[in-house]
Amino acid sequence: MSKSFALAGLRLGWIATHDRDLLGRMNRLKDYTTICGSAPSEILALMALRAREHVVGRSRGIIARNLPLLDDFFGRHESRLSWVRPRGGSVGFPRLCTNAPGAVDAFCARLVETEGVLLLPGSQFEHPGNHFRVGFGRADMPQALEILDDFVSRLTA
């Protein structure tokens, strides 16, 4: 529900598997850590599933509007940032063009501290190479990207 439906706040997790052993282990872990799921979240998720075309269509529209903005942004900053446009989804992993260890961690920390824009460094995913996670399934992406653009421009000035 979090990515395709843009409903991360519901905090539910569903799994589909043919592996009965894995499913059993996951059920036991869930029973150990959680008494029950959130009924309001489950109801809202069912409502979203019933309105799938509308809800997912909205998400796809936002992504379609944001991708060209990201392409343009990364094109303007290609000496500092490297971008491979994802073939699907609403998350990408661009790279800060430096080999300095930990540079992306400092970049992301400074960005959130000074500008209030949160990017997650790839180190949080054990992903090497100064990559960072950028989500672009949000309607406020143009405003956040404008702040990021100013930030990167100041760094390279």
In terms of domains, do 40 and 89 share one? no
145 confidence band (pLDDT: 50, 70, 90): very high
In terms of domains, do 97 and 146 share one? yes
Task: Report d(CA 152, CA 39) in Å as an integer.
Answer: 43
In terms of domains, do 44 and 92 share one? no
Residue 15's nearest CA partner among 35, 39, 37 is 37
The domain total for the chain is 2
Q: Tell me the whole-structure pTM to 2 decimals.
A: 0.79
123 three-state secondary structure: helix
Cα 107–112–93 angle (5° rounding)? 55
pLDDT tens digit string along 106-116? 999 999 999 99
SS (H, E, C) 103-120: HHHHHHHHHHHHHCCCCE
Which domain range does residue 119 map to? 62-156
In terms of domains, do 13 and 86 share one? no
pLDDT tens digit string along 49-75? 999 999 999 999 999 999 999 999 999
Token pair, residue 73, equals: 């942004």
Quickly list DSSP for 58-108: HHHHHHHHHHHHHHHHHHHTTTTEE----SSSSEE--EES---TTHHHHHH
